[in-house]
């Protein structure tokens, strides 16, 4: 009879997952659907100094803080990374990420392209996913139909988005977020995360 042999399978650690992409690709909408579907991830709440938009909830959509409070967080080294985004500060609270990873949960960050590249430097084994549209024209159309910015702000967002589309090489995966196919986008993200947990050489995230 053949002798029994149990494989010593590699242990998969919790993943640090970055969902990024230009303004207008639907990052917030995708994350909202992931939450609605009850996916077993910790969604990090970003701190920001920008005003709360209609319908947004404190400590759920963002951690809305004053510029004074944000300055205190920077000085106290409470942020993994932070940046000025269209005139307002955004940052990732360090303790929130560390606590979630320690609990064994995969952690999802929603940040801009510049912030994603900063995370890559701090945590080389982070999993970076780039959301985009089918074309630059489609992205511009989405930004124009949002009607959440002034004409000047819109021009800035479009110019920034065009630059960000050139940063795809910094990411591990790219997903087209088609209009009216939100669940397909979420399914693709889930499939990537599931596959990553089956790597022979698991990612080891330290922050």
Q: Active-site positions? A: 53, 146, 157
**DSSP tag of 72:** H
Question: How far out from the chain centre does Cα 164 lie?
Answer: 14
Count helices and strands (H / E) in the chain.
7, 9
Q: Which residue has the tokens 């995230």?
A: 205
Element (H, E) at 67: helix 67-75
Query: By the 8 A CB rule, do 109 and 21 touch?
Result: no
């Amino acid at each position: 009879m053949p002798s029994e042999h149990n494989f010593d399978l590699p242990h998969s650690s919790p993943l640090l997952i970055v969902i990024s992409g230009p303004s207008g690709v639907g990052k917030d909408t995708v994350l909202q659907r992931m939450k609605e579907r009850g996916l077993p991830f910790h969604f990090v709440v970003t701190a920001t100094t920008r005003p709360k938009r209609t319908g947004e909830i404190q400590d759920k959509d963002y951690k809305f803080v004053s510029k004074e409070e944000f300055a205190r967080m920077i000085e106290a080294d409470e942020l993994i990374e932070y940046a000025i985004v269209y005139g307002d500060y955004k940052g990732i609270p360090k303790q929130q990420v560390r606590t979630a990873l320690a609990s064994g949960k995969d952690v999802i960050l929603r940040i801009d392209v510049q912030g994603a590249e900063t995370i890559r430097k701090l945590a080389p084994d982070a999993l970076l996913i780039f959301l985009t549209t089918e074309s630059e024209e489609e992205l511009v159309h989405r930004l124009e139909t949002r009607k959440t910015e002034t004409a000047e702000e819109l021009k800035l967002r479009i110019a920034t988005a065009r630059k960000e589309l050139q940063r795809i090489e910094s990411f591990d995966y790219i997903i087209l977020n088609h209009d009216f196919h939100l669940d397909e986008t979420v399914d693709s993200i889930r499939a990537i995360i599931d596959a990553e947990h089956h790597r022979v050489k698991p990612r080891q995230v330290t922050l």
